[in-house]
Amino acid sequence: MSSSSKRCLQLLEKCKNMKQLKQSHAQAITCGIGTNNFALSRLLAFCANPKHGSLAYAWNLFKHIQEPTICICNTMIKAFFLKGETFRTLHLYSNMLSKGMYPDNYTLPFVLKACAKLHFFCLGELVYGLCLKLGFVFDVFVGNALISMYCAFDNVKVARYIFDEIPGLDVVSWTVMISGYGQMGDVDTARLLFDEAPVKDRGIWGAMISGYVKNNCFKEGLYMFRLMQMSGIEPDEAIFVSILSACANLGALGTGIWIHKYMDKHKFPLSLRLSTCLVDMYAKCGNLDIAKELFDEMQQRDVVTWNVMISGLAMHGRGESAIQLFRQMEKDGVSPDDITFIALFSACSYSGNAFEGVRILDRMRNVYNIEPKSEHFGCIIDLLIRGGLFEEANQIIQSMPDSSNPSDEAIAWRALLSSYCSSGWTKLAEVAAEKLMRLEDHSGVYVLLSNLYASSGKHYDAKRIKQMMKSRGVFKAPGCSSIKINGEVHEFIAGKNSHLQMEEIHLILERLDKQLHYTGSSLYL
């Protein structure tokens, strides 16, 4: 290769933007290496970069290559996938096969990821078959992609089979498999696998913490976070997001504040996602002032951020403030989504503004072209009944579109039943309960009706409903409460004496009851 050709290749390596690349490409053609496979692969690799590349330029270049090598095809497949062109990734893979080219362990992971992203189960199975035929199933990179794909297909059994067959598992293998179990809700198996992992890096810890939090095991998630800190692993953004979510759901404000201070102390960059999680945590833990302060300080807000703040105001009874914030959201040019309107209907319900809720429903349909779902109907029905607009609520139910899913219809009827029970409308509650019992077997229906009968003095009917629950095999989930003391969350479940200090707690309660008895009061009134 001539010295001028070598200089051209060096120029290709030094390019920082598309303008420089095009100049280097022109120079390469002039030097006579425009069709050189190495030069073409470097050109395509630069264009494939999601930050400064150009997919259109890469594709135009690729189309003019007479006989692309597997390396060049792989670069183009990677470019398509990283740019989100998932269909074109699979189309190019199909063209490769039709021309008699066999994929390698660089091609297959991107193809498998594309199948998982598009939920193309059948094609994924075919690619798996080809992996077996070519012997790549034992390659750790291909194997990890296969595990991830089958987890995305909710087939954790096959994913685990592949995991057990890979001879040289790496930390990614363990992370993907633990995440797969967490995704399927099997946190116990995920934890067993986590304990077996020979090396636990930040990714594996994050997968286990996320698995707990996504499956509402918030206390366990916080416990794992403490263990991770004791092991000397520094948390990343994904772990902070999971832990802040756990704090929000547990009401663990102290831990949430500690995390916030930790991020400030270590100058951890607050992304849009993290800032939104902090606002959500403070709002759900009852500190609306700090939540609003953080919200106002945010330089960038997306629809999720607005939804979090509107929901926070609504759940704390500040309905008017939530509606005003929505108007500000519209002024700022942020388009609401269906979650925004659920929060708004709740806000109207808390502020007792039924007519404003009806106006917002009309705006949702006619201005933003968002068709109400069962959740929206449930909220608006509850809102109307709380406002005494029973006829309007019935009209809404009658106008609901037919759904193939009975649970969608049940949400609206559940809201109706709850409102009837709150208002003491026994006859209407019985009609709604009968409808609900045909749609679903949910303990809430029986409990609401039983409580209504009991509060109305109809103890025989209340007992009859409880016997009906028992005969139909419907069980009520036990009540649960939690309290945080000295950094530890203590959980209490109705009907269970699982707490280690339950005897001491009962002794203190009895002592308090005796003291109150002398003052004419009782803990059990």
What DSSP string runs through 252-298?
A: -HHHHHHHHHHHHHTT----HHHHHHHHHHHHHTT-HHHHHHHHHH-
By C-alpha distance, which of 69, 62, 66 is closest to 47? 62
3-state class (DSSP) for residue 493: strand
Quote the pLDDT of residue 496: 62
Residue 99 tokens read as: 């021309």
Is 24 within the bounds of a domain? Answer: no
Quote the pLDDT of residue 59: 86
Is 58 within the bounds of a domain? Answer: no
Banded model confidence at residue 54, pLDDT cuts 50, 70, 90: confident
Quote the pLDDT of residue 40: 74
- Return the higher-pLDDT residue of 11 and 505: 505
Lowest mean pLDDT segment, chosen from 134-138, 176-180, 224-228, 308-312: 134-138
Asked if the model's pLDDT at residue 521 lies above 60, the reply is: no
Instruction: Write down the mean pLDDT value for the chain.
Output: 83
Q: How many CA atoms are closer than 13 Å to the CA of 472, on its beta-carbon side?
A: 17
154 φ/ψ sector (left φ>0, alpha ψ -120 to 50, else beta)? left
Q: Quick: pLDDT tens for 70-94.
A: 988 998 999 899 888 999 999 999 9
Asked if the model's pLDDT at residue 67 lies above 70, the reply is: yes
Domain count, the chain: 1
Phi, psi of 188 (to 5 degrees): -65, -45
Is 492 within the bounds of a domain? Answer: no
Asked if the model's pLDDT at residue 519 lies above 50, the reply is: yes
Contact of 52 with 18, CB cutoff 8 Å:
yes
Mean of the pLDDT values across residues 282-289? Answer: 93
Cα separation, 147 vs 519, in Å, equals 66
Is 192 within the bounds of a domain? Answer: no
Q: What CATH number did the domain enclosing 430 receive? A: 1.25.40
Is 270 within the bounds of a domain? Answer: no
Q: Quick: pLDDT tens for 234-279.
A: 999 999 999 999 999 998 899 999 999 999 998 999 999 999 999 9
Banded model confidence at residue 336, pLDDT cuts 50, 70, 90: very high
Is 407 within the bounds of a domain? Answer: yes
Is 422 within the bounds of a domain? Answer: yes
Lowest mean pLDDT segment, chosen from 99-113, 150-164, 319-333, 511-525: 511-525
Asked if the model's pLDDT at residue 110 lies above 90, the reply is: yes
Quote the pLDDT of residue 471: 66
Quote the pLDDT of residue 524: 46
Asked if the model's pLDDT at residue 14 lies above 70, the reply is: no
Quote the pLDDT of residue 32: 63
Cα separation, 311 vs 338, in Å, equals 13
Range of the domain at 393: 372-474
Q: Quick: pLDDT tens for 397-442.
A: 767 665 555 555 676 677 667 766 776 667 767 767 777 676 666 6
Cα separation, 501 vs 503, in Å, equals 6
Quote the pLDDT of residue 416: 67
Banded model confidence at residue 525, pLDDT cuts 50, 70, 90: very low
Is 364 within the bounds of a domain? Answer: no
